[in-house]
Amino acid sequence: MKVEQIYTSCLSQGAYFIESNGEAAVIDPLREVSNYIKIAEESNSKIKYVFETHFHADFVSGHLTLSNKTGADIVYGPKADPEFKSIIAEDNQIFKIGKVTITAIHTPGHTLESTSYLLKDEDGKEYCIFTGDTLFLGDVGIPDVAQRYMGVSKEELAGILYDSVNNKIKPLPDDILVYPGHGAGSACGKNMMKQTVDTLANQKKVNYALNGSFTKSGFIKELTDDLPEPPNYFPSNVKLNQEGYLDFNKVLEKSLVSLELENFKSLSLKNNTIILDVRNQNDFRTGFVPNSIFIGLNGGFAPWVGSVLKDINTKILLVCDNGQEQEAIMRLSRVGFDNCLGFLNGGFKTWKDSGNSIGTIDSISASGLEEVIDQDGEILDVRQLGERNNGRLKKSAHIPLGLIDIKNDHLNKLNKYYIHCAGGYRSMIACSVLKKQGFKNLIDVDGGFESITSNTSLEIISS
């Protein structure tokens, strides 16, 4: 028996490959499926099933493509209603893979169709459980907003989730492993651990959903209080996963288009088209195509594309370092952004060498900020609320990055703003968005809040 976790840091997402005696299954694959097929070939096995824990909102799954390429059956849990051929498992239905079995355990709450999968080894012993977005390490999945549009409240979902976790998962043997669908950094939970696998025994000690810290009513309140609004692209991803999507290879074929400068300029003037610069934030700072949005491949690229650009129908023109084009297109497709029109041939160098005007973002060190902040300017914190509550600068305003384009009415476009996040990646995204909206005097705090706390004596308070 082989169990392999395929973890994608950009999405903080875990997919799983299970193999026994020449048969295999994949759980929650990403949209580009070549890696799973390669693993199957290397283990001389045939993929028999593709198990989906639920209709994902934060990424487009590879279930349809993998099924089409391998002949594997797609399996969902009870209450699922996909618009393509699949097996809708009954609660506790057993699937055989070689000499092992996988049992579908209906665990609704994150979504109504959410299902966990219990793996038993060759001797029939419970080995591990794949919990999807039902149970994370140290946390649980927040009530999925795609379900709220169906008339189910977040409080109702939280109550259902409490019952699922405590009645379906907690009674399982302590020594089994828990393999979650996501880790720290995902928008599907509030406060996940950085680890990506743990024993159920330890989770019963440290996870508030399992250790008796809350009654059911207390759990519901804990889970739904200060629940952030989900990114706008989530319902679109659910729809793609439920109804179907274009094969990634076809997306790549139509998107991997090298554009000469004049064509690039012409396309940039069309409605609903943005220039997306995916280089390192330090390169972007020193020069970029005016009105472009920065979201670098070196950070949490795909989720921030979804959160910042919002509409998956947005037409995208890429500015990349040479060799990054295919990677950028692939990672855009993971969150359903399939309308890439192409990339600027030669990247930013082509733009600059042709004598076109360029944009820049000013930068300041944390120690430099300490010297000037009492003289002029305002501090703008673009971290998440949970981060800010754990420590913030006393004199700072707050707009989470995902809302920076729609919640800035109270800011003055002529004022000076020192913008920081935790480490410097998100603040540069925020600077690019605000710059495109006409803000004139933006200064990025290099190194972000981490550098501020380490290198200054500026007053830090908790909320």
Say what the pLDDT of residue 385 is. 86
- 97/16 Cα distance (integer angstroms): 14
The alpha carbon of residue 422 and the mean position of all alpha carbons in its chain are separated, in whole angstroms, by 17
Say what the pLDDT of residue 411 is. 95
Q: Among all chains, which residue has been given the structure tokens 């003289």?
A: 375
Domain 246-353 shares a fold with domain 362-461: yes
**CA-based nearest residue to 50, from 66, 38, 34:** 66
CA 353 vs CA 137, 346, 347, 361, 397: distances in Å: 50, 10, 10, 19, 39
Say what the pLDDT of residue 147 is. 61
Sketch the domain layout of the chain as residue ranges. Answer: 2-235, 246-353, 362-461
Say what the pLDDT of residue 10 is. 87
| 8 A C-beta contact, residue 288 and residue 294 | yes
Pairing of strands 416-420, 441-445: parallel
The number of beta carbons lying within 10 Å of the beta carbon of residue 107 is 31
Say what the pLDDT of residue 259 is. 98
The alpha carbon of residue 381 and the mean position of all alpha carbons in its chain are separated, in whole angstroms, by 21
Say what the pLDDT of residue 193 is. 86
- 13/24 Cα distance (integer angstroms): 20
> 307-338 burial, b if ≥16 CB within 10 A, otherwise e?
bbbbebebbbbbbbbeebbeebbbbbbbbbbb
- Amino acid identity, residue 221? K
- 388/384 Cα distance (integer angstroms): 6
CA angle 438/440/445 to nearest 5° reads 115
- 31/335 Cα distance (integer angstroms): 9
- 445/381 Cα distance (integer angstroms): 10
> Per-residue pLDDT for the chain (463 aa), expressed as one digit of tens each?
999 999 999 899 999 999 999 999 999 999 999 999 999 999 999 999 999 999 999 999 999 999 999 999 999 999 999 999 999 999 999 999 999 999 999 999 999 999 999 999 999 999 999 999 999 999 999 887 666 556 788 899 999 999 999 999 999 999 999 999 998 877 777 778 889 999 999 999 999 999 999 999 999 999 998 787 788 899 999 999 999 999 999 999 999 999 999 999 999 999 999 999 999 999 999 999 999 999 999 999 999 999 999 999 999 999 999 999 999 999 999 999 999 999 999 999 999 999 999 999 999 999 999 999 888 899 999 998 889 999 999 889 999 999 999 999 999 999 999 999 999 999 999 999 999 999 999 999 999 999 999 999 999 998 7
CA angle 145/8/405 to nearest 5° reads 50
Topology of 362-461 in CATH?
Oxidized Rhodanese; domain 1 (3.40.250)
Distant-in-sequence, close-in-space partners of 115: CB < 8 Å, separation ≥ 6: 53, 54, 76, 77, 78, 80, 89, 104, 105, 106, 107, 132
What does the block give as tokens for 111?
A: 């979504």
Say what the pLDDT of residue 188 is. 72
Say what the pLDDT of residue 146 is. 62
Say what the pLDDT of residue 150 is. 65
Architecture in CATH of 246-353: 3-Layer(aba) Sandwich (3.40)
| 8 A C-beta contact, residue 164 and residue 109 | yes
- 185/182 Cα distance (integer angstroms): 8
What does the longest C-alpha to C-alpha distance in the chain come to? Answer: 71
The number of beta carbons lying within 10 Å of the beta carbon of residue 282 is 14
The alpha carbon of residue 246 and the mean position of all alpha carbons in its chain are separated, in whole angstroms, by 20
| 8 A C-beta contact, residue 195 and residue 183 | yes
Taken in order 205, 189, 444, 343, the sign of the CA dihedral is: positive
- Superfamily per CATH, domain 2-235: Ribonuclease Z/Hydroxyacylglutathione hydrolase-like (3.60.15.10)
- Amino acid identity, residue 364? I
> H/E/C letters for each residue in 334-391?
CCCCCCEEEEECCHHHHHHHCCCCCECCEEECHHHHHHHCCCCCEEEECCCHHHHHCC
CA 191 vs CA 72, 185, 186, 188: distances in Å: 35, 8, 9, 10
Torsion of CA 176, 180, 185, 189, to 10 degrees: -100
Q: Among all chains, which residue has been given the structure tokens 């297109």?
A: 329
Q: What is the DSSP string of 92-135?
A: T-EEEETTEEEEEEE--SSSTT-EEEEEE-TTS-EEEEEEETTE
